[in-house]
């Protein structure tokens, strides 16, 4: 680096995004809303590692799935030779953890998670290699009631986030026996139309024919639409379960359409499957997918335990929030602290701590590389910070044990500035903020209006 050759810049991994401060208020609003809504349904958070044994996913999701076939970030731990994978989704991990810690020993559990997932896909709008999901897993529940509750929880979340154009698609994919019967007819049907199958479909024909149903290939739509529908193969119990879900949704005025072609990507699903879809995001329109996965826990060596869950794509939902036109103001502080001279700097540290004790957000001017510490430069920083007040401590203020408070947002044009005893500054500003402010300034954290 000491040579005159300039060091080459390292850039981030393709398809993995930095989330910059300008977007932080949007993420915070989303996360706080999620947290509040899920808590109001009695869901408890679980945090599992980002890295898991590869077998967890290859066994859990099924070998013939997009994820396991081509999207996993798998690697060998060079220290001990273990086969590891960056989690592409979190249901398998949550179930592993629930089993490992015997979480359902005293009854069913409502769990939720949030965090990054990793899939080696072609990066494009709404499709990234690191992306974020929020999901819920209700483990140990048998009936259609929990399926409906999960769906209604999503609806409440969309409402609270102000998202209007998300519609619910619902289907039932029955149990293994029902799917097997359907599968025989489905394969026979596709064999009859073999010339229309694309390479992907050809490959899946015998391994996972159900997945051909959700092909996006326009040339196959008509043929696939006329394929045997799984819903007509449901037995008594599956049908009753599906009816049960719909009954609760109808009673609560949750609109939905039944999409007989809706299947989910992973092998572990059965019975209820659903997706929340929007037309506002181009071809990546699914913002949330979920369903029942009664067989999974047994597949992982646990005793039979029914379960149901969903996962939503955070980036896609944030894009919808942005499109809704609402403004997400940048995080701003209440006070910018300006000081001149060494004694004033020491005092400003004391004052900043006192102001923070009073619940205010304070930015203390610190030396920086690209701006001088002149009074003028500091005031410019104060203006740019979005703070409501600048508090100034100069030599005079130190000598007289005072501080000068300048209102940076005075509406009457005149710059309102007062010099008051040092010990009264914090009370004075709290009064100013709470006294003349009827839109409820929140001191404990920055607001998003
Ligand atoms: P798709 O059919 O779009 O590939 P999927 O079936 O692979 O979706 P799920 O595994 O069900 O998706 O994940 C749940 C949600 O996570 C999706 O509905 C989507 O909103 C989001 N999601 C999935 N993959 C990505 C990705 N690569 N980038 C951003 N969001 C994603
Ligand atoms: Mg996918």
The verdict on 361 and 438 lying in the same domain is yes
Q: Is residue 340 part of a domain?
A: yes
The verdict on 168 and 290 lying in the same domain is yes
In the predicted structure, residue 129 carries a pLDDT above the cut 90: yes
Average pLDDT over residues 58-82: 91
Nearest ligand, CA 214: 1
**In which order are the strands placed within the sheet that holds 83-86?**
51-53, 83-86, 73-76
Domain-terminating residue out of 295, 323, 351: 323
Q: Which H or E element spans position 414?
A: none
- The dihedral region occupied by 376, where left means phi > 0, alpha psi between -120 and 50, and beta the remainder, is alpha
In this predicted model, what pLDDT tens digit does every residue of 201-244 receive, in sequence order?
998 898 889 889 888 899 999 999 999 999 999 999 999 999 99
> CA geometry: angle at 381 spanning 441 and 376, to 5°?
125
In the predicted structure, residue 402 carries a pLDDT above the cut 70: yes
297-312 in b/e burial notation, b at 16+ Cβ within 10 A?
beebebeebbbbbbbb
Domain-terminating residue out of 323, 344, 361: 323
Model confidence at 268, pLDDT cuts 50, 70, 90, reads confident
Residue nearest to atom 22 of ligand 1 (CA): 313
20-24, 115-119, 251-255: segment of lowest average pLDDT: 20-24
The verdict on 27 and 121 lying in the same domain is yes
Residue nearest to atom 24 of ligand 1 (CA): 127
Q: Do residues 348 and 364 touch, judged by C-beta distance below 8 A?
A: yes
In the predicted structure, residue 446 carries a pLDDT above the cut 70: no
Model confidence at 439, pLDDT cuts 50, 70, 90, reads very low
The verdict on 360 and 291 lying in the same domain is no
Q: Is residue 181 part of a domain?
A: no
In the predicted structure, residue 71 carries a pLDDT above the cut 60: yes
Return the ligand 1 atom nearest residue 311 CA: 14
Model confidence at 409, pLDDT cuts 50, 70, 90, reads confident
Model confidence at 408, pLDDT cuts 50, 70, 90, reads very high
The predicted pLDDT at position 369 comes to 80
The verdict on 163 and 292 lying in the same domain is yes
Domain-terminating residue out of 323, 351, 385: 323
The verdict on 266 and 140 lying in the same domain is yes
Our answer on whether the CB atom of 306 is closer than 6 Å to any ligand 1 atom is no
Q: How far apart are CA 360 and CA 437, in angstroms?
A: 15
The verdict on 158 and 59 lying in the same domain is yes
In this predicted model, what pLDDT tens digit does every residue of 135-186 receive, in sequence order?
999 999 999 999 999 999 999 999 999 999 999 999 999 998 999 999 999 9
Residue nearest to atom 11 of ligand 1 (CA): 289
The predicted pLDDT at position 324 comes to 85
Our answer on whether the CB atom of 211 is closer than 6 Å to any ligand 1 atom is no
Our answer on whether the CB atom of 203 is closer than 6 Å to any ligand 1 atom is no
Our answer on whether the CB atom of 289 is closer than 6 Å to any ligand 1 atom is yes
The verdict on 259 and 128 lying in the same domain is yes
Our answer on whether the CB atom of 17 is closer than 6 Å to any ligand 1 atom is no
The predicted pLDDT at position 2 comes to 54
163-172, 279-288, 373-382, 433-442: segment of lowest average pLDDT: 433-442
CA of 328 to the centre of ligand 1 (A): 25
Domain of 391?
335-446
Q: Is residue 217 part of a domain?
A: no
Model-level pTM? 0.90
CATH of the domain at 70: 3.30.930.10
Average pLDDT over residues 93-112: 96
* Residue 377, C-beta contacts closer than 8 angstroms, at least 6 positions apart: 371
CA of 288 to the centre of ligand 1 (A): 8
CA of 287 to the centre of ligand 2 (A): 12
Q: Is residue 365 part of a domain?
A: yes
Q: Long-range pairs for 246-250 at CB < 8 Å and ≥24 separation?
A: 246/170, 247/144, 248/144, 248/145, 248/148, 248/152, 249/148, 249/151, 249/152, 249/168, 249/170
The predicted pLDDT at position 331 comes to 74
CATH of the domain at 424: 3.40.50.800
Q: Is residue 190 part of a domain?
A: no
Residue nearest to atom 16 of ligand 1 (CA): 313
Q: Is residue 7 part of a domain?
A: no
Specify the 3-state DSSP secondary structure of 317: helix
Nearest ligand, CA 88: 1
Nearest ligand, CA 126: 1
Question: What percent of the chain has pLDDT above 70?
Answer: 94
Nearest ligand, CA 211: 1
Average pLDDT over residues 44-54: 98
In the predicted structure, residue 63 carries a pLDDT above the cut 90: no
In the predicted structure, residue 443 carries a pLDDT above the cut 90: no
The verdict on 409 and 315 lying in the same domain is no
Residue nearest to atom 9 of ligand 1 (CA): 289
Q: How far apart are CA 116 and CA 133, in angstroms?
A: 6
The verdict on 254 and 314 lying in the same domain is yes
Model confidence at 442, pLDDT cuts 50, 70, 90, reads very low
The predicted pLDDT at position 448 comes to 35
Average pLDDT taken over every residue of the chain = 91
Nearest ligand, CA 290: 1
CA of 382 to the centre of ligand 2 (A): 46
- Sign of the torsion formed by the C-alpha atoms of 106, 107, 108 and 109: negative
Our answer on whether the CB atom of 119 is closer than 6 Å to any ligand 1 atom is yes
In the predicted structure, residue 438 carries a pLDDT above the cut 80: no
Q: Do residues 272 and 145 touch, judged by C-beta distance below 8 A?
A: no
Residue nearest to atom 21 of ligand 1 (CA): 313
Helix ranges (DSSP H) in 374-417 = 375-384, 395-400
Highest mean pLDDT among 31-35, 193-197, 283-287: 31-35
The verdict on 284 and 423 lying in the same domain is no
Our answer on whether the CB atom of 182 is closer than 6 Å to any ligand 1 atom is no
The predicted pLDDT at position 371 comes to 66
CA of 133 to the centre of ligand 2 (A): 13
The predicted pLDDT at position 302 comes to 94
Model confidence at 4, pLDDT cuts 50, 70, 90, reads low
The verdict on 308 and 363 lying in the same domain is no
Average pLDDT over residues 323-329: 80
CA of 445 to the centre of ligand 1 (A): 32
Work out how many domains the chain is built from and give that number.
2
Our answer on whether the CB atom of 121 is closer than 6 Å to any ligand 1 atom is yes
Return the ligand 1 atom nearest residue 126 CA: 29
Per DSSP (E only), the strands in 209-262 are 257-258
Our answer on whether the CB atom of 261 is closer than 6 Å to any ligand 1 atom is no
The predicted pLDDT at position 445 comes to 39
Model confidence at 447, pLDDT cuts 50, 70, 90, reads very low
Residue nearest to atom 29 of ligand 1 (CA): 127
Q: Is residue 31 part of a domain?
A: yes
Model confidence at 326, pLDDT cuts 50, 70, 90, reads confident
In this predicted model, what pLDDT tens digit does every residue of 334-379 receive, in sequence order?
999 999 999 999 999 999 999 999 999 999 999 888 767 899 999 9
CA distances from 432 to 6, 410, 435, 441 (A): 51, 11, 5, 11
Residue nearest to atom 5 of ligand 1 (CA): 265
Return the ligand 1 atom nearest residue 129 CA: 27
DSSP letters, 96-138, are: HHHHHTTTTTTS-EEEEEEEEEE-----BTTB-SEEEEEEEEE
Q: Is residue 222 part of a domain?
A: no
Q: Do residues 391 and 337 touch, judged by C-beta distance below 8 A?
A: yes
The predicted pLDDT at position 383 comes to 92
Question: What percent of the chain has pLDDT above 90?
Answer: 81
Average pLDDT over residues 414-425: 89
Model confidence at 332, pLDDT cuts 50, 70, 90, reads confident
């Amino acid at each position: 680096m000491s040579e005159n050759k300039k060091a080459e810049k390292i850039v981030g991994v393709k398809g993995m995004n930095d989330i910059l401060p300008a977007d932080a208020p949007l993420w915070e609003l989303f996360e706080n809303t999620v947290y509040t809504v899920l808590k109001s349904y009695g869901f408890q958070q679980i945090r599992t590692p980002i890295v898991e044994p590869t077998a967890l996913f290859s066994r859990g999701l099924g070998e013939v799935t997009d994820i396991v076939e081509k999207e996993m970030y798998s690697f060998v731990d060079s220290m001990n030779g273990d086969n590891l994978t960056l989690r592409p989704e979190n249901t398998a991990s949550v179930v592993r953890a629930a089993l490992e810690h015997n979480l359902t020993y005293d009854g069913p559990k409502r769990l939720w998670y949030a965090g990054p997932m990793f899939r080696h896909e072609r990066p494009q709008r709404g499709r990234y290699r690191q992306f974020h999901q929020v999901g819920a897993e209700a483990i140990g529940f048998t009936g259609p009631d929990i399926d409906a509750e999960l769906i209604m929880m999503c609806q409440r979340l969309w409402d609270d986030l102000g998202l209007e154009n998300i519609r619910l698609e619902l289907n039932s994919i029955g149990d293994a026996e029902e799917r097997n019967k359907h599968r025989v007819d489905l394969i026979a049907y596709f064999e009859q139309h073999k010339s229309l199958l694309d390479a992907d479909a050809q490959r899946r024909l015998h391994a996972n024919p159900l997945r051909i149903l959700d092909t996006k290939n326009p040339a196959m739509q008509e043929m696939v639409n006329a394929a045997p529908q799984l819903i007509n193969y449901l037995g008594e119990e599956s049908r009753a379960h599906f009816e049960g879900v719909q009954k609760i949704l109808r009673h609560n005025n949750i609109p939905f359409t039944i999409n007989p072609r809706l299947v989910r990507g992973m092998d572990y699903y059965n019975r209820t499957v659903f997706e929340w879809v929007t037309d506002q995001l181009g071809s990546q329109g699914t913002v949330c997918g979920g369903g029942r996965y009664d067989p999974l826990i047994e597949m992982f060596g646990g005793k039979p335990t029914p379960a149901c869950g969903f996962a939503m794509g955070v980036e896609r939902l944030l894009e919808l929030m942005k499109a809704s036109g609402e403004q997400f103001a940048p995080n701003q502080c209440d006070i910018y602290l300006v000081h001149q001279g060494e004694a004033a700097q020491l005092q400003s540290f004391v004052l900043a701590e006192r102001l923070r004790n009073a619940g205010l957000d304070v930015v203390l001017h610190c030396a920086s590389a690209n701006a001088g510490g002149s009074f003028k430069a500091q005031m410019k920083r104060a203006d740019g910070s979005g703070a409501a007040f600048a508090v100034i401590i100069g030599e005079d203020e130190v000598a007289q044990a005072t501080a000068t408070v300048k209102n940076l947002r005075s509406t009457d044009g005149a710059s309102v500035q007062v010099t008051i005893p040092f010990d009264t500054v914090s009370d004075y500003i709290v009064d100013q903020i709470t006294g003349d402010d009827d839109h409820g300034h929140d001191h404990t954290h920055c607001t998003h209006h």
